[in-house]
Structure 1
Amino acid sequence: MKTNSFISRFCLVMFLASSLAAQDKAEPPVAGTAKWVNVVPPSIKADPALTHGTFFSKANTTDIGYFVALPRGYDAPDAKARRFPVIYYLHGGNGNEGRGVQGYPSLRPMLTSEDYPAAFFVVVNGGNPNYIDTADSKGGTGFIELVAHIDRTYRTIAAPEGRVMLGHSMGGRATGRIILKHPKLIGTGVAMSGGHQREKSMSETGAGGRGESKLINAKDNSWDNATLYANRAGAPKIRLMVVVGDKDSNYQPNLDWCAHLTKLKIPHELVVVPGAGHGIDLKIQNTDRRVFGFIADSLKHISNN
């Protein structure tokens, strides 16, 4: 088991470090450049465990694509009534579900390891831009619709304790924004390298950044949603980890956002990765083990591996 555990942690590092650095940018895509359904680029070899699917988004009046990998043991004869948690991966700027599959071959040994709770892995398409609703693209509502579709289509644990969001850069700030707004939907979030200064700007100016024009609700951001969550009577408990490198251009904005969370008495865990830039190298100081342990701790109490 010790060998398997080491391999699992190494694979998580390779998945996160390679896929996040390769596909994510500090800025969201320019409006009009993203597509709702994408294939895997020729330069990327998709793991056969990943299957592409689509669902019809009422909010966007079009199909939206995603990739999914089934949990280990999902098709076992004795698991026909068993339900599994879901890990939603939110790509960064200029990404999509097709590019988001990169790195999965490194993650698969972990998801097939008995040391890790069996779970679905879903690659999300964030739309154009940033998993947020604008007049032209309702990426925030699209994500909510995706969760409902996954629950209808597969044997999931359709409860917040059975759902994890893991996002980087654009997906990192979206993770913070969504989990604080929808704690009855998502119970655990790992927000990495999020550009929370852009979220704060939305709060202060009422306007979005590059690619985020025509916002439907500028108050739907990681700062205002934190305040709403803190003031919400009987708000469901969430587990939130914030990960950022101290060489990242988003380093100080993440510290500022965490100070905001602390002031509001919202529990969270801040992990600063020394020497890491925007493409976080999670091998530094065993950051991979902390991320892995955080997710595992959220899921182990509902897992019956």
Structure 2
Amino acid sequence: MKLKKLLSFVCPAVFVLSAGMAQAATPATTTPFQPLMTNSKDCFSGQFSSYDGFVSMLKRMYPNNPNVGAMMHKSIPRAVFEQFQQQLHCELFVYDVGGVKTKGYLVLPKAAPAKSLPVLVYNRGGNGKTGSLVFMNVMSQLMSLAAQGYVVFASNYRGEHNQLNLPPEQIGKDEFGGAEVADVLAFKSLLTQVPAANPEHVAMMGHSRGGMQTWLAAKQWPELDALVIVAGVTDSEALLQFRPEMENVFKARIPDYANNKTAALQQRSVSFFLPQIRADLPVMIVHGDQDKQVDVSNAHKIAQLLSARKQPHELVIVPGGDHSLQKQMPELREQMDQFIRQQLR
């Protein structure tokens, strides 16, 4: 990935901390890292333990680009890095789901009182290494959400990072809406290990492919207070008409796809299984009208289906918004926060 694209995950505007963060977080602290999960490490360790170390790492990665330092300072200012480092607890951990191990992240404001913070499960988009959670998009996506006063859990899904030196059966395979949905559902029990987390207040958010993961998980997690679906797919078969190249992703990841195509795609399409989701579960649908990867018609279709069953929902169509919604995300994140907090039971 070229540096310009890599840094596009993080624009300065996304790092505006909310008032909720100011109340929940502590001032600068030197408290030693205390893991909340087993088999975990501090996100701010090793090459990420300081801003200078972070920038030096990028310069080593891109020795032929003399602008690396300047681009880094513009994309992630030192003050933002250090503010997050001082105010947020962030850990990368390995967890077991039915004998399969995968990597997850936990991010939350430091020193929050017991059961004081709502939980937000964030489901990433992409497939393979595309969209996987690495330090820079953990900062832009997960830390920015935690800064609003949430306990944030996120999974990289099984099968994507065989860096654990484990046999294949312990790494598992990403089935793009199949077995790896269990990696998301596992947070239902893991969140009880976080003293600050309020298990009665849990919402879920998914972007792109993460929207599919969110809909699928909601079938088995009826206690959720709210869903936020960003640039999500409503009908996977219709997606193939819009983006035929997605067939390669489906073939590579969905088991027995060649012999079970229609059933497999319908199983992953909320337009076919919406009745299996709690009818009073509030949903916020967010989509850019210039999305070239998942057409905005997906948002309109699911809004119509939600209206038909009188399910509470909010539809936000972003004028000029692309698939990432990067330019609009700071404002959208505030809207999402307001929506979620209105639904907390």
Which residue is 1:96 aligned to? Answer: 132
Structure 2 residue corresponding to 1:169, chosen from 202, 208, 211: 208
- Figure out how many residues of one structure are paired with residues of the other and give that number: 241
Whether 2:89 is the aligned partner of 1:52: answer: no
1:91 shift after superposition: 1.1
Contact 1:187 1:237 in 2 (8 A): no
Q: Which residue of 2 aligns with 1:196?
A: 234
Aligned to 2:14: 14
What SS class does the counterpart of residue 85 from structure 1 fall into?
Answer: strand
Q: Which stretch has the larger CA shift, 212-221 or 266-275?
A: 212-221
Residue type of the alignment partner of 2:121: Y
Query: Could you tell me whether the CA contact under 8 Å between 1:84 and 1:155 is conserved in 2?
Result: yes
CA contact (8 A) 2:119 2:151 kept: yes
For 1:20, the equivalent position in structure 2 comes to none
Alignment equivalent of 2:314, drawn from 269, 273, 277: 269
Q: CA RMSD in A?
A: 3.8
- Counterpart code for 1:103: S
What's the CA shift string for 1:241-299, capped at 9, x where partnerless?
00000011321122122222222322211100001111114638954442231123234
Q: Which structure has the larger Rg over C-alpha atoms? A: 2
The residue aligned with 1:244 is 287
Matches within 5 A, 1:257-296: 257-281=302-326, 283=328, 286-296=331-341
Paired residue secondary structure (2:153): strand
Alignment of 1:107-186 (within 5 A): 107=144, 111=147, 118-127=149-158, 129=174, 132-133=177-178, 138-159=179-200, 162-179=201-218, 181-186=219-224
Q: Secondary structure at the match of 2:104?
A: strand
Q: Which amino acid letter does the alignment assign opposite residue 339 of structure 2? A: F
Deviation at 1:184, TM superposition (A): 2.1
Q: Please give the secondary structure, in 2, of the residue aligned with 1:56.
A: strand
Output the CA distance in 2 between the equivalents of 1:139 and 1:147: 14
Q: Which has the higher helix share?
A: 2
In the superposition, relative to structure 1, how do residues 240 and 56 fare at CA in structure 2: closer, same or farther (>3 Å)?
same
Compared CA separation, residues 212 and 104, structure 1 to 2 (3 A): closer
Q: TM-score scaled to structure 2, two decimals?
A: 0.58
Partner Cα distance (1:64, 1:214) in 2: 19
Cα deviation for residue 175 of structure 1 reads 1.8
2:176 and 2:254 in contact (8 A); partners too: no
- Offset from partner CA, 1:136-167 (integer Å, 9 cap, x none): xx2111211233123245443223xx111121
Q: What is the CA–CA distance in structure 1 between the aligned matches of 2:186 and 2:142, rounded to whole Å?
A: 27
Gaps of 5+ in 2: 1-10, 17-39, 49-53, 59-71, 160-173, 241-246
Q: Distance in 2 between matches of 1:246 and 1:280?
A: 10
TM superposition shift of 1:90 = 1.2
Q: Which digits, 9 at most, give the CA deviation of each residue in 1:118-142, with x for residues without a partner?
A: 3212222233547622xxxx21112
Give the drift of 1:185. Answer: 3.7
Out of 108, 115, 118, the residue aligned to residue 85 of structure 1 is 118
Q: C-alpha distance in 2, partners of 1:149/1:106?
A: 19
Q: Distance in 1 between matches of 2:142 and 2:190?
A: 25
Using structure 1 for the length normalisation, give the TM-score. Answer: 0.65
The AA in structure 1 aligned to 2:281 is: I
Asked which structure has the greater RCO (Cα within 8 Å, sep 6+), the reply is 1
AA at the equivalent of 2:224: I
Structure 1's unaligned 5+ residue stretches are: 1-10, 17-36, 230-234
Taking structure 1 as reference, are residues 105 and 237 closer, same or farther at Cα in structure 2, changes over 3 Å only?
Answer: closer
